[in-house]
């Protein structure tokens, strides 16, 4: 639920979206290195997230561009109100786009989640969230210190890009719609 255009100056074009599908392939290769693991603990991309400077303005622009109404802006306090994350989603035919705005508390300043504006992360959905976490842990891939955490959209966990080929990955609990 956060951002990333910073160091890599990533743009979202057709090539940029294709590179997101390569993230899943990279994780799958890492997980399948252990022959005991034959199936990924998650099967599809849930959403791609972009960190924005002004979420209200970005929501208006994306509504016009996609022709789809957003879910509305949700605000989630961090560290007892010392920080805040605001998000909105645009549900498309196959997946979603998340826009996020962050005011990170001091305790999160060195987290890989604290990034510049632009591409932030790719999120995968798991029907068995706890099983997926266990499967990833068996492969040496562990959530960041503040995770898993409960959000308005269910439990989520973020993983250090150093463990996932340089991409910030979110694993989300499957939502009942």
In contact, 131 and 122? CB cutoff 8 Å: no
Give pTM, 2 decimals: 0.74
Range scoring the smallest mean pLDDT among 39-43, 56-60, 124-128, 164-168: 39-43
pLDDT of 109: 86
Burial (0-12, 13-18, 19+ Cβ within 10 Å), 115: buried
Residue partners of 119: CB distance under 8 A and separation at least 6: 3, 4, 5, 8, 10, 12, 16, 48, 49, 50
Three-state DSSP at 109 gives coil
pLDDT in tens, 24-80: 555 555 544 443 443 467 778 999 999 999 999 999 999 998 899 999 999 999 989
Residue range 14-173 forms a domain whose CATH class is: alpha beta
Query: Whole-angstrom Cα distance, residue 128 to residue 35?
Result: 21
């Amino acid at each position: 639920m956060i951002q990333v255009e910073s160091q890599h100056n990533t743009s979202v074009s057709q090539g940029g979206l294709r590179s997101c599908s390569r993230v899943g392939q990279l994780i799958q290769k890492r997980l399948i290195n252990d022959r005991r693991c034959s199936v990924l603990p998650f099967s599809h991309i849930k959403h791609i997230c972009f960190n924005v400077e002004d979420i209200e303005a970005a929501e208006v622009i994306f509504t016009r561009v996609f022709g789809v109404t957003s879910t509305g802006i949700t605000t989630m306090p961090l560290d007892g109100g010392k920080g805040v994350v605001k998000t909105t989603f645009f549900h498309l035919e196959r997946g979603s786009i998340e826009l996020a705005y962050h005011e990170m508390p001091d305790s999160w300043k060195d987290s890989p989640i604290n990034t510049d504006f632009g591409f932030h992360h790719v999120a995968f959905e798991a029907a068995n969230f706890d099983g997926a976490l266990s499967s990833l842990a068996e492969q040496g891939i562990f959530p960041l210190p503040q995770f898993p955490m409960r959000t308005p959209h269910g439990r989520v966990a973020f993983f250090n890009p150093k463990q996932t080929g340089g991409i910030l990955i979110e694993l989300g609990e499957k939502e009942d719609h």
